[in-house]
Structure 1
Amino acid sequence: MVTHALSRPWPSGRRGGAGAAHRRPGRPGPAAVVAAALAVGLLAGAAPPTGPRPASGTAPEQLYVAPWGRDSWPGTKARPFATLPRAQRAVRARTPHLASDLVVNLRGGTYRLRDTLRLSGTAGDSGRDGHRVTYQAYGYGTARQERVTLSGGRRVLGWRAPRRPGGAWRADVGDLTTRQLYVDGRRVPRAALGGGLPGRVRTTATGYVTDSPAPRGWRNPRDIEFAYTLPFWVDARCGVADITGARGHTVITMDQPCWRLARALYEDDGEPLTGPTDVLASPSFLRRPGSWYLDRSRPGHHVLHYLPRPGQDPRRTEVVAPVLETLVSGTGRPGAPLRDVTLRGLTFAHATWRAPDEPAGFVSAWALYKRPGVRTWLTVPGNVAFRGADGVRVEGNRFTHLGAQALELSRAPPAPPCGTTSSPTCPAAGSSWAARHPTPAASAAATGSPTTTSTTSARSTGVPRASAAPPPTAPSSPTTRSTTCRTAASWPGPTPTCRASPAAPASSATACSARTASWATAAASTCAASRAPRTPTGPSSRATR
């Protein structure tokens, strides 16, 4: 698989989850470098057009969508549709009999997606007989091109003033869970301590011990997350399971299996995993203006706390919380790829990625991360993802305010997913070499820096899904077998449900549904171990995030 995040290949920041970008002075802009590489590399490998080309001069059929339209209207320029799902239904009704290209024109404005826009090779979203289906900003390529944003975010309204001057504003947000927040178009950080653990700290098999009593006063400890910024642009996140102690010492117990995975990976050279570079997500840390905290102590009745900057009134400010993990997905299957679809002139914004909230956290090497029971590295998914597609063009778009990777192109596997423990084609990963030399096919997560794509045309069906790259100096490494590993993340068909019970042995792996598995995300399922997520035992639990 090749996954391209058209953003910085630098480590994530300390606050706000995986992927806050850092720019090193004196280096060329990675956005431009990666965009150029994407255009050159994929154009070089693009497949020739299939099927007959439309006769020259054949005018494309036009459909229109506008924020002020109505889905009961016919989708004309004067009477446009209101939503993309309605336009998609109109496209599917026309593709079986395409006589020309079909263009869906989006008028200027923000389209807040309630669900992922899912394009399928078997549901009628593909072009046909050499004709393409295009979704584009109205006026694309002209001086009158309108600005169109596809947003996976939700505006936060209903703010309540603080109980004391200078305190945090609050808003009821239902069951909202997110790792990012944007205020007036800027990403704002989660509440953070602003440094590592206080006192003299010692690493243990289950976490840390410090002689400082301060951590015992941190509120909602099971919401707390430790951030690690490590050499070679490596970033990690692990949650706290409990904080206890007495008689001059504090014991911090970390989430499992995150702590076990982190020690196995980062202590491979014999050095103990040092304390975190920052500590996040407790109401005790909500002291810096422009920071936030999400209280999930009452399931289904979450409360967002925001400490505004001087002069800022949340009631008169646009506050957006990303909700969706995938904005647009395109899927096909062997023999029936999604084909001949174009996205151009669009801005993709406000998507999140919540996998680091899981008990396995985010133990990573660049854009690769680990999960128990999975012997290959997993790749941070794209907020716009095409799996099993042919002749897809992504042209002149902008990716911004994203919590995962920007754009993913991966192949459709020819075999059912998973079998991670039984398949001889899956080599073990996690060596010290792999930790320090992640596959070049992975790039860093897109989180806040806007990126514009150049023209891209790709056959994602021909690109193997990448696992940890074997060391070039080790001939015995399974270099030819690593590309045949499969996870459910790359399987485009119906996702199997999780069949393992909580008591199943850790060695048994199973493909789990993106909505039911403990390790799955809405963007992609994974071949996960059968360990169930921990059951909430108190008023606040990381499992409810």
Structure 2
Amino acid sequence: MSQIFGKIKSLTIFIYTIGILSVSAQKQITYYISPTGNDTNPGTIELPFETIEKAKNTIAKHNGKNAKNITVFLRGGLYPVKETIVFNNENSGNKNTTITYSAYKNENPILSGGIVLNKWKNTKDGLWQMHIPNINFRQLYVNGKRAVRARTPNIGSYHTNLLWDVKAQEILIDSRLIKPWNNFKNVEMVINMNWAEAFMRLDSYTESNDEAYTWHTPTHARVKVQNPERNLVFKRFYPPKKNELAWYFENAYEFIDEPGEWYYDQATEMLYYHPLANEKIENAKAVIPRLETLILIKGNANVPITNLHFEGITFKHSTWLKPSKSGALNMQACNYSIEPTLGNVQFVERIPAAVKLEYAQFCSFENNIFSQLGASAIDLFDGTKNCLLNYNVFNDISANAIQLARFSDPKTEIHIPYNPKDISAVTEHHMISNNKISDIGKDYTGAVGIACGYGRNITIDHNEIFDLPYSGISVGWGWTSEKNIMENNRITGNLIYNVCQTMSDGGAIYTLSAQPGTIIKNNYIHDVKHADWAGKSHNTGIYLDEGSKGILIENNVIENVADGVPFILKGESVFKNNQGIPNTQVKQEAGILK
């Protein structure tokens, strides 16, 4: 990666030193946990605990009574997480004490929110099946690989013959593409709406040949989706309901037609899987997720969590079940619509994450792996300050890899600037550095590698981000040039490539709204894609969207943008000394280019 960064002239490496609270040198207290341990043990290396819960509760008994640093070593192996592990103020470090949960030496501890399956049976048609009672799930991993929830057309392909009848609240498609499938109302219609996807459960359909639409197909079906999805999608203006968007059906037994696909019949509680050619039933290991959040670190405005650190741990197997229960309409960056308000007035909620921090300061995650997760990976939410995400690996993630800062409160309309009176709630002074992010947005294709809302003094530095369906880094929210809490963010020295592979109207780096003092500098961007069926909006290298102003864009290199438009600016910002393309190749939309 250093050779690639060398293409940037006069690259300046921005060195960030996180201000861990002053901790005096003390003899360290050490505990050990192991999958083969026992919570009645004393927690020594010879007699380790079995669970993190036992370790953190043991620490809580004497925490604050002395000023010694504490390390909990996790031995290698699988740690099933049956309930969210909650760290509160009793489990926090303080100005005199750090608490670290770390992998032991070169071992690989795995925190899994999943259930292991191993009781497959063969069916007469070559599928494997298994009875799984009292659980629903949206992901299946077989022999360490994500399987495909059965869909038509198959993964990598889409239909595009689609029309919207807004007045009737119906979607028109070719009648040959829909049938009265078993468990019809569990089937989902998934539409890629330029920069965001909509998961909508089917309700009914009727065949029709009314003259208004016969130009499109000889006979068509009028499809109704269930509520609340129907009211949401037809009443909101954005993302726009353009005709001929890419779409597919998902979640029916009848869709299983190639190896690697699966379907779970909720009525019979039976899982079906089409094995790959080299898979044998006697040694197939499968996992389904059962938890939305594995780790919750939650302080409060008066007493935030402090000096809590995680190193060398693998986080796996989270989920998100809302799409199965009430649909999910992504509005942008995995913030989904929650109220059917007519027009461009919208209210949203954020997708959950496997690890969430709220009112936490001087905490860190270093050298961890986040993989096979069914929503977002990690969320630095309200009241998080001075935290470090460094040298982590993110891959095989259903939604965003990293999300941080508030976007919109569920009770606040998305265009209203965020200017909280209580500054303790602001997300600020985080360092997101040296992380490797790839293969995210596996289910929710409007996902972003690093999605930052109303944050200030956030540094996103020297990350490698690649193979994404939509944008690489997105900073900002609100679509407004009005004053808000954002300022002095830095997007520097990142390597971003092979992005925007599925969606449109995105960029390797994307911003929204006024954020004075923000710098986009020394980034190398190449191979920004535009799929044939992704919509007609531009994908670009650096995209300063609505309200973006007060930003310096300097010394970036952008190469091989599919649309031939390396920059889009919609606001007042400063642009200078960018390389790889002439400065005149900038699409200026209602902005001032200096």
Closer, same or farther: CA 314–371 of 1 in aligned 2, 3 Å: farther
| Alpha-carbon distance in structure 2 between the residues aligned to 1:224 and 1:405 | 23
Asked if residue 243 in structure 1 is aligned to residue 205 in structure 2, the reply is: yes
Q: Which residue of 2 aligns with 1:383?
A: 354
Q: Which residue of 1 aligns with 2:484?
A: 480
Answer yes or no: is the 8 Å Cα contact 2:456–2:486 preserved in 1: no
Asked if residue 84 in structure 1 is aligned to residue 52 in structure 2, the reply is: yes
Shift in Å, 1:399: 0.7
Q: Which residue of 2 aligns with 1:501?
A: none
Answer yes or no: is the 8 Å Cα contact 2:67–2:96 preserved in 1: no
Report SS of the residue matched to 2:222: strand
2:131 to 165, 172, 180: 172
Closer, same or farther: CA 60–218 of 1 in aligned 2, 3 Å: same
2:303 to 336, 341, 344: 336
Q: Which runs of 5+ in 2 are unaligned?
A: 6-12, 210-218, 385-407, 418-429, 444-454, 459-473, 488-594
Superposition pairs for residues 6-405 of structure 1, below 5 Å? 43=16, 46-47=18-19, 49=21, 53-55=23-25, 58-121=26-89, 124-139=90-105, 145-162=106-123, 164-166=124-126, 168-194=127-153, 201-205=162-166, 206-210=169-173, 212-231=175-194, 233-245=195-207, 250-265=221-236, 272-274=242-244, 276-298=246-268, 302-372=269-339, 375-405=346-376
| Alpha-carbon distance in structure 1 between the residues aligned to 2:285 and 2:32 | 27
Q: Match for 1:153: what amino acid? A: G
Shift in Å, 1:323: 1.2
Closer, same or farther: CA 351–182 of 1 in aligned 2, 3 Å: same
Q: Which residue of 1 aligns with 2:478?
A: 470
Shift in Å, 1:470: 3.4
Closer, same or farther: CA 313–364 of 1 in aligned 2, 3 Å: farther
Q: Which runs of 5+ in 1 are unaligned?
A: 1-27, 30-38, 140-144, 432-440, 450-459, 484-545
Answer yes or no: is the 8 Å Cα contact 1:401–1:448 preserved in 2: no
Closer, same or farther: CA 237–430 of 1 in aligned 2, 3 Å: farther
Q: Match for 2:231: what amino acid? A: R
Answer yes or no: is the 8 Å Cα contact 2:191–2:197 preserved in 1: yes
| Alpha-carbon distance in structure 2 between the residues aligned to 1:401 and 1:101 | 32
Closer, same or farther: CA 288–106 of 1 in aligned 2, 3 Å: same
Q: Match for 1:357: what amino acid? A: S
Report SS of the residue matched to 1:284: helix
Answer yes or no: is the 8 Å Cα contact 2:238–2:331 preserved in 1: no
Relative to structure 2, which stretch is displaced further, 337-346 or 403-412? 403-412
The number of aligned residues is 398
Shift in Å, 1:265: 4.6
- CA deviations 1:480-530 (Å, max 9, x no partner) are 3899xxxxxxxxxxxxxxxxxxxxxxxxxxxxxxxxxxxxxxxxxxxxxxx
Answer yes or no: is the 8 Å Cα contact 2:312–2:366 preserved in 1: yes
Q: Match for 2:233: what amino acid? A: A
Structure of higher RCO (CA pairs closer than 8 Å, 6+ residues apart): 1
Shift in Å, 1:387: 0.6
Answer yes or no: is the 8 Å Cα contact 2:21–2:95 preserved in 1: no
Q: Which has the higher helix share?
A: 1
Q: Which residue of 2 aligns with 1:22?
A: none
- CA deviations 1:4-58 (Å, max 9, x no partner) are xxxxxxxxxxxxxxxxxxxxxxxx89xxxxxxxxx979x56x55515xx223xx3
Closer, same or farther: CA 253–230 of 1 in aligned 2, 3 Å: closer
- CA deviations 1:238-282 (Å, max 9, x no partner) are 22122344796533211223233334456666x635455221101
Report SS of the residue matched to 1:217: coil
Closer, same or farther: CA 211–430 of 1 in aligned 2, 3 Å: farther
| Alpha-carbon distance in structure 2 between the residues aligned to 1:267 and 1:420 | 17
| Alpha-carbon distance in structure 2 between the residues aligned to 1:126 and 1:60 | 16
Shift in Å, 1:427: 4.1
Answer yes or no: is the 8 Å Cα contact 1:225–1:240 preserved in 2: yes
Identity rate of aligned residues, in percent? Answer: 23
Report SS of the residue matched to 2:132: strand
Q: Which residue of 1 aligns with 2:469?
A: none
Closer, same or farther: CA 331–262 of 1 in aligned 2, 3 Å: same
Report SS of the residue matched to 1:114: coil
| Alpha-carbon distance in structure 2 between the residues aligned to 1:360 and 1:149 | 31
Q: Match for 1:187: what amino acid? A: R
| Alpha-carbon distance in structure 2 between the residues aligned to 1:132 and 1:461 | 26
- If the length of structure 1 is used for normalisation, what is the TM-score? 0.64
| Alpha-carbon distance in structure 2 between the residues aligned to 1:284 and 1:170 | 15
Closer, same or farther: CA 445–120 of 1 in aligned 2, 3 Å: farther
Report SS of the residue matched to 2:107: coil
| Alpha-carbon distance in structure 2 between the residues aligned to 1:461 and 1:100 | 33
Answer yes or no: is the 8 Å Cα contact 1:197–1:275 preserved in 2: no
Closer, same or farther: CA 482–239 of 1 in aligned 2, 3 Å: farther
Report SS of the residue matched to 1:385: strand
Q: Which residue of 2 aligns with 1:490?
A: none
Q: Which has the higher strand share?
A: 2
Closer, same or farther: CA 201–376 of 1 in aligned 2, 3 Å: closer
Shift in Å, 1:290: 0.8
- If the length of structure 2 is used for normalisation, what is the TM-score? 0.59
